[in-house]
Structure 1
Amino acid sequence: MRYKIYMLSVLFFLSKFILAQTTDVVTGYVHNEDGIPLGDATVQVGNYGTTALSNGYFSLKNIPTGKHILVVSAVGYTAFQDTIVKLAQENLALQIRLSKDDKVLQEVTVLGKSETQQAKEQTVRAVVVDTRAVSTQATTLTDLMNRSTGVRIRQNGGLGGRPEISINGFQGKAIKYFKDGIPLDYMGDGYNIASLPLEALERIEVYKGVLPVSLGADALGGAVNLVSAKRRGSHMHTFYEIGSFNTHRLGVTAAHETKDQKWSYGTELFFNHSDNDYNAFVGVRNPNTANLEYMDMRMFHNAFQHSYGEAYVNIQNRNWADELRLSVAAFALEREQQHPALMTDPYGAILGKQQTVAPSLRYKKKLLDGRLSIDQFASYNNLQTRRIDTLMGSYDWYGEFTPKTTPGESRLPSLSKIHERQTVLRTNIGYQINSSTSLGFNYIFTDVRRDGEDPYGQRLQDTDIDVLSLESTYQKQIYGLSLDKYWLDEKLHNQLMGKFYHYSASGIQNTWFSTGVTEADKRRLSGNYWGIAEALRYRLTPSAFIRGSLEYTYRLPEREELFGNNIFVVPNFELNPEKSFNASLGYQQVIGGRLTVEANGFYRRTKGLILLVPIQAPNAQYQNQENVKGFGFDLDLNYHFATHYTLSGNATWQNLRLFGITDETDRWKNNARLRNTPYFFANAGIQSNHSAILSQNDNLKVFVHYNFLREFYLETIRKDLEPGGFLGLSGQANINSNLRIPNQHLLNAGFTYKLPSGDVNIGAEIRNMLNKNLYDYYRVQRPGRSFHLKLSYTLAKGG
């Protein structure tokens, strides 16, 4: 059955900005001992007071930094009183339980931790990147994530280059992206970590291996959940960043909430541009000898431009809805293509473009005294992608043009326009059986219909029918069910999860120039699969816990892997899902309130790994390739010292190797490292935080971050050619240097200064201070030293 939702696109133009501080907020829920919400409970923090809603939720804004007396009371329950500490730039999320009058006060508990800290300590492990705390820095999301343990972001070039995240060695389509728990596939390249500003997000949650059921996906290696910045109250925030290579980034976020908290509306507008005209070493052919000579050349056709906007209106805190949110998001991007996958041939006119308008509707409601929660999301959009390669000539690395009689700089001329009509439905239901037991259910439905046109494209054999005009389809459904249970006075938390996957697809198998396309090339396929996972966390002390997980799961082929991308990736409807067994074990402890230590290990065994492999130049195709197994570990340290300083460091080592290859010509690959995958990287950083530098109310933060990446290899190499030493960390591999991506050292430094008024921040950063040669996948060179300056302004008023 084909599902479609047609939604009216409504764009709200804000006519006023009555503004309020959003960073000084205390929120939470009040329950009784059985977990039932206590509506109308009174919550007092110092001189600020409010009344809890029917679901037990309360919110207090503009709470100053410092110590406050917290008093919570409700009819029939013993009043609770304690002292809480409100830190600067931190929202507190409290969970408060009140006892009946006949209970003693000592049995009342309060847990006060920020949402970011709660995310870090959940049973299913997540590396949490707190973007809110560094939103005034002149840095990027990819740089922030690369400082995290076990996470590696590789980006093809400068600003706007397509990012690929590696988590414990698994990468590409095995890692799924979400926005507030909703799969992000439908937004294409318009909403991703390569172009989003820090201001767009509250935090980033990077899950390794096992995913919570609330993230409905067939991810194999993990997932990235982009948590939107909270828009409580009313505010307006603007920023502008200027940097090297003609880089400009600016944006506005604004919101207004009525005093009765029944309505809110807002908008986000972001713009990015960079010429990305840095220098890189490329092979330039000597006209006299015809030999390649490596020279430092400027990237002259490498620019990126991106615009993103979203407007929303919320109806909230009603009897029939806790939140009903209508949102319309739109983006447009243009990306110049300087070279193919490898930095071999120069291009001077090839362009890629993408755009969409995506309306969505989200509904949230708690029922049965808060025991039952419903979260429903729906969206429909038409994602349009274009590729333009019609130049009657070619460029060399000097930017000089040579005309020719045939179109296209690459071997595949194109003037294509692809339409992907996408429907996404997501249902999440939670039921609190009692104070220690809950059930969760999640359902994701994705339907994609793709067609297009290309006057330079393939034709169906013996006809004038454009092969791209023939519709390809992709449909995926994922069901998830979880049982959460607390034991031993809540010291032990168990999550048992099961998932069911169904997908179907249809399309044309052969669509590259050297192969004729006939009716016999039409394909249809479908499949059903099961997955199961178990996650445990045991709290040894209030400041220490261990957690572990086991998982057996599948990863379905994605539509780009099946359809190709109409550029150099050709379709493959013979792909099988990947399947994997994953295990992890970790320990975390806070020592003396200053030192946080976390150590984790993992084991993976994956069969039928889907990799992009070359076929007939310049084409490539996703194919089921090697089986991979291995293990790894990481260590993360964070230490606060001398009042004003924080020292951080982490290191990740992983040993992922091929196995089970029986073909006689490829058996030598058994026990070889997984190609194009880093196996060791480390970070170190120090930050200082000083107040009252030039005035009573100003603040200065200075930071330095260092990143090391051990050499890795573009292709599979024999194990006896690998470097020696402890864990393979010394020496070099005995291979051609063009196959080696060498050791890399990245040093960034900067500062942020908050003016005494509190509403203006200045940030500056120097990236790649040492001006080292840096590389990402396929040995594409990244920018050298660059300078960035950022000005942020927040206008706020209580309301």
Structure 2
Amino acid sequence: MRATNCFSLLCVSAFLTVAIALAGEQPLRLEEVVVEETPLVEEVKEEATPFITVLDTTQTPTRVQTATELLSESVGVQVRQFGGLGDFATLSIRGSASNQVAIYLDGILLNQAGIGSVNIANLPLDSLERIEVYRGFTPVTFGTSALGGVVNLVTRKTPETVANEISLSYGSFTTLKADLFRAQRFQRLDYLLFLNYTGSRGDFTFLDDKGTPNNEADDEVTERQNNDFFSLDVTGKLRYTLSNQAEIHFLSNLFYKDEGIPGIGNFQSTHASLTTLRSINNLRWRQPELFLPELEGTFNLFFTYQQDRFEDRFGEIGVGNQDNRNTTQALGGNALFTYFWGDHQVLSFLSEIRRETFDTEDRLATPPEGPTQTRMQYAFALQDDIFLWSDRLLLSPLLRYEIFRNDFSGKLPFQLSSIAPDRRKSESFFSPKLGIRLRLTDMLTLRGNIGKFFRVPTFLELFGDRGTTVGNTDLVPESGINWDIGFRVEKRQLGPLTRLFLEYAYFQSEIDDLILFIQNSQRTSIAQNISQARIQGHEVSFSLTGFDHLLLSGNYTYQQAKDDSNIPFLRGKRLPGRPLHELSTSLELFDKRYGKLFYTLNFTSGNFLDRANLVSVPSRTIHNLGLTVTPPGVKGLSLTFEVKNLTDNQIQDVAGFPLPGRAFFGTVDWKF
């Protein structure tokens, strides 16, 4: 507690160290510098202190690539997949839990209060311009503090000229993907429309050990069943520019998916299914000069809706027959004010309010309707970017205050027993952060950050369900202190190299009050704050472009994620799904006239699948190879052929859920 108070005092003191004497007559307008070349080029935004990865997604329509695959190749990011294309997948940053990472679409939060985690297999990719990964820290522009970090999906912008694109892909496991894109700009109005269809039978073969991994005599190669899916994704954007340079933006994204749920590999289901309907909408007003020439305002009003229906009437998945429908709705708004205080200081203030409801329906129960669970969230954040020493030194303190009010209406689960939770739970917390960026030379930049972050309990942890989970409104938020330090080297025009980039970061997190489900009776379990974790590691990213036709890039992550709890049989164990070593490299040989040859290698060391470190998976190396040809005489046309998992490795991230072996895909893409 004393360390936290000292840290808070340090941040407050940094706010008071305002360099007024450095203020000039003309206000400063800071432009974001982002260099984007390929999805594996790891870049940092110039005017920021956190370590940020920017993944270029503008070329993904020319390939069969998913957000799951792309994010898994990013430094510091671990992805756990429960199957192949379209199957459930979660994301971790720097050893965090998946529900400790906040995921946004154009600044709109996708995490739900019900479960916390986001299925990244359902994230759009082809409609995006880039993906921003904030490793370990949450900027002022986002309303929610996140222990692990932030992933922001940024949709495409309307180009200066009329743009059309058609893309069609086909490949292994009867996989089909089709994209349509149209964008046009008028004098004050521009629009963008994107449509995507993706479907697959998902019937890849895998080695089934029949649940007896130590007995190879009964092993057999079998086909994945009930693993088919199809999805539709539609994105529309409008922008209107007013006479005073103010802009009004409207974004709407609609996603629908119907999929089979195959279950574990040695006991596959044949009937279980899941349908998902999601709608994301945002209205934004941006005013460059709001009341004052130095003041800029951005205002958002958003609404999100998601309905999931899971059917397992034959009891093939989990316990008993199930037919459940869960509906989540969120409505809110925020205001971001940016004040350019002279030439050397920028103040940013964000206020946000968000109301989220979660409704359940068990169609096999009487009555089927469950209670409505509600969360009100209020967030306030103030950031001061102070530029000193001819702008070579940046001090960036941030103060964030959040309030959460949770309410459970209707009949509580286990209401007549002594273990019933309260109906209401409120939390508020203060999370300070301090970042430093020092540009020593034109080539070398140092960065460092320290901050305190939180994760509030989900509805399931607070209130339980109508089955085997008991709520616990005595839970406190998970909390942690993150810090990192590192450097960045970038040099252009170095002999035959047109660009050389290298980045290193050391990171450490100490997380307290981790929430775990503990069995408290023969038929129920309850969430409790009983665990701690300590995570530390190193990240290295590099890329070089040169010789007119070569691009080599990659990254390496080493991390030690250990259980630091007081539970004797868990203390000192490695956290599941967090490998010690991860390496990703990419090589491209390109010619602007004829196309490119590309190769990627992804290595993951062996890791454990359970907290007791009893079940493990071996290390694996995945090779992918592809060729893109741009035929002469047809402007904007490209043909791509890919081979994924070239050596046909039989692998899995989660026990019992095999991943596909070798697969072939072809894509025709035409921009006109």
Q: Same fold (TM over 0.5)?
A: yes
Supply the distance in 2 between the matched residues of 1:765 and 1:495 (Cα, whole angstroms).
44
Structure 2 Cα separation of the partners of residues 699 and 34 of structure 1 = 52
Partners of 1:653 and 1:56 in 2: how far apart? 34
Which runs of 5 or more structure 2 residues have no equivalent in the other structure?
A: 1-22
Match of 2:258, SS?
A: strand
CA distance in 2 between counterparts of 1:589 and 1:568 reads 53
Q: CA deviation at 1:765?
A: 1.2
Superimposed CA distance per residue, residues 732-751 of structure 1 (whole angstroms, 9 cap, x where no aligned partner): xxx6xxx1111111000102
1:582 pairs with 2:510 = no
Find the aligned partners of 1:436 and 1:742 in 2 and give their Cα distance: 52
Give, in whole Å, the separation in 2 of the partners of 1:560 and 1:35: 52
Q: Which residue of 2 aligns with 1:202?
A: 129
Instruction: Give the Cα–Cα distance (whole angstroms) in 2 for the partners of residues 564 and 767 of structure 1.
Output: 41
What is the deviation of 1:205?
0.9
Following TM superposition, by how much is the alpha carbon of 1:508 offset from its aligned partner in structure 2, in angstroms?
Answer: 7.9
Aligned to 2:313: 390
Change in Cα spacing, 1:578 to 1:186, as seen in structure 2 (3 Å) is closer
Q: CA deviation at 1:136?
A: 2.5
Counterpart CA distance in 2 for 1:667 and 1:197 is 43
Query: Partner letter of residue 785 of structure 1?
Result: R
SS of residue in 1 equivalent to 2:87: coil
In structure 1, the partner of 2:300 is 377
Count of residues paired in the alignment: 633
For the pair 1:786 / 2:663, whether they are aligned, the reply is yes
1:253 alignment partner, one of 168, 181, 188: 181
Change (3 A) 1:716 1:558: closer
- Please state if 1:534 is matched with 2:434: yes
1-side partners of 2:52 and 2:468: how far apart?
Answer: 35
In structure 2, how many angstroms separate the alpha carbons of the residues matched to 1:180 and 1:567?
Answer: 36
Is 1:496 aligned to residue 371 of structure 2?
A: no
> Which of 427, 434, 439 is equivalent to 2:342?
434
Quick check: 1:509–1:572 contact (8 Å CA) kept in 2? no
Specify the code of the residue in structure 2 equivalent to 1:313: L
CA deviation digits over 1:269-313, x for unaligned, max 9?
Answer: 111111111123334389xxx999443221110112211213333
SS in 1 for 2:126: helix
SS in 2 for 1:609: strand
1:524 Cα shift? 1.5
Aligned to 1:553, which of 436, 445, 453?
A: 453
* Alignment correspondent of 2:79: 153
Asked whether the 8 Å contact 2:209–2:218 carries over to 1, the reply is yes
Q: Determine which of 174, 195, 208 is the counterpart of 1:269.
A: 195
Residue of structure 2 in register with 1:603 after alignment: 508
- Partner of 2:147 in structure 1? 220
Residues 1:273 and 1:565: Cα distance change in structure 2 (over 3 Å): farther
1:643 to 528, 548, 553: 548
Distance change in 2, residues 1:611/1:752 (3 Å): farther
Q: Residues 306, 564 of structure 1: CA spacing in aligned structure 2 closer, same or farther, 3 A cutoff?
A: farther
SS in structure 2 of the partner of residue 670 of structure 1: coil
Query: Are the counterparts in 2 of residues 211 and 223 from structure 1 also a CA contact under 8 Å?
Result: yes
Q: Which amino acid aligns with 1:713?
A: F
Alignment partners' CA distance in 2, 1:293 and 1:358: 48
Residues 44, 52 of structure 2: 8 Å contact kept:
no
Aligned counterpart, 2:100: 174
Give the equivalent residue in structure 1 for 2:274.
Answer: 352
Mapped to 2, the partners of 1:292 and 1:617 lie a distance apart of: 36
1:439 shift after superposition: 0.8
Change (3 A) 1:192 1:651: same
Q: Which amino acid aligns with 1:634?
A: E
Aligned CA-pair RMSD: 3.4
Shift of 1:532: 0.3
Residue matched to 2:17 = none
The equivalent of 1:326 in structure 2 is 250
2:71 aligned counterpart, secondary structure: helix
Residue 681 of structure 1 aligns with an amino acid whose one-letter code is: E
Alignment-mate amino acid for residue 296 of structure 2: S
Give the alignment's TM-score, normalised by structure 1. 0.73
Q: Which amino acid letter does the alignment assign opposite residue 503 of structure 1?
A: F
Out of 357, 364, 369, the residue aligned to residue 456 of structure 1 is 364
Does the 8 Å CA contact 2:518/2:526 hold for their aligned counterparts?
A: yes
Deviates more, 1:355-364 or 1:516-525: 516-525
Q: Tell me how far apart the structure 1 counterparts of residues 166 and 317 of structure 2 sit (CA, whole Å).
A: 41
Q: CA offset at residue 510 of structure 1? A: 10
Is the contact between residue 514 and residue 530 of structure 2 (CA under 8 Å) also seen in structure 1? Answer: yes
Deviations 1:142-189 (A, max 9, x none): 222222221222221111222211211113110010112221237999
Which consecutive unaligned segments of at least 5 residues does structure 1 have?
Answer: 1-31, 38-54, 58-86, 91-114, 392-406, 458-463, 692-697, 719-734
More moved, 245-254 vs 516-525: 516-525
Does structure 1 conserve the Cα–Cα contact (< 8 Å) formed by 2:51 and 2:134? yes
Following TM superposition, by how much is the alpha carbon of 1:478 offset from its aligned partner in structure 2, in angstroms? 1.8
Letter in 2 for 1:700: G
In the alignment, which of 529, 543, 546 is matched to residue 624 of structure 1? 529
CA distance in 2, matches of 1:621, 1:275: 38
Structure 1 CA distance for aligned equivalents of residues 603 and 524 of structure 2: 33
Measured in 2, the distance between the counterparts of 1:282 and 1:509 equals 45
Q: Using a 3 Å threshold, how does the CA distance of structure 1 residues 505 and 349 change in structure 2: closer, same or farther?
A: same
**Does the CA-based 8 Å contact 1:190-1:333 persist in structure 2?**
no
Q: Aligned in 2, Cα 1:573/1:274: closer, same or farther, shift over 3 Å?
A: farther
Report the Cα distance in structure 1 between the residues aligned to 2:42 and 2:619, rounded to whole angstroms: 33
Q: For residues 676 and 154 of structure 1, do their structure 2 counterparts lie closer, same or farther at Cα, with a shift above 3 Å needed? A: closer
Question: Which residue of the partner structure matches residue 626 of structure 2?
Answer: 750
Instruction: Give the whole-Å Cα distance in 1 for the aligned partners of 2:522 and 2:548.
Output: 59
Counterpart of 1:538, as a letter, is L
SS, match of residue 626 in structure 1 = strand
Change (3 A) 1:780 1:570: farther
Taking the aligned partners of 2:423 and 2:309, their CA distance within structure 1 comes to: 25
The worse-fitting range, judged by mean Cα deviation, of 553-562 and 158-167 is 553-562
1:714–1:779 contact (8 Å) kept in structure 2: no
1:443-488: CA deviations, max 9, x gaps? Answer: 232212222432323xxxxxx544x432211222221110111000
Counterpart CA distance in 2 for 1:715 and 1:530 is: 33
Matched AA of 1:704: Y
Q: 1:716 — aligned with what?
A: 611
- Aligned twin of 2:64: 138
Q: Is 1:773 aligned with 2:650?
A: yes
Mapping of residues 65-104 of structure 1, within 5 Å: none
Tell me, yes or no, if the aligned pair for 2:36 and 2:56 is still in contact at 8 Å. Answer: no
Amino acid at match of 1:361: L
Equivalent residue in structure 1 for 2:138, among 194, 199, 211: 211
Relative distance call for 1:274 and 1:763 in structure 2 (3 A) is same
| 1:414 match | 322
C-alpha displacement at 1:569, in angstroms? Answer: 7.1
| Cα shift at 1:409 | 6.0
Match of 2:590 in 1: 689
Q: Distance in 2 between matches of 1:669 and 1:708?
A: 27
Residue 256 of structure 1 deviates from its aligned partner by 1.7
Q: 1:272 to 1:575 in 2, by over 3 A?
A: farther
Specify the structure having the higher radius of gyration (Cα). 1
Aligned residues: percent identity?
22
Q: Using a 3 Å threshold, how does the CA distance of structure 1 residues 34 and 275 change in structure 2: closer, same or farther?
A: farther
Match of 1:300 among 225, 229, 233: 225
Q: CA deviation at 1:385?
A: 1.8
So what's the TM-score if we normalise by structure 2? 0.86
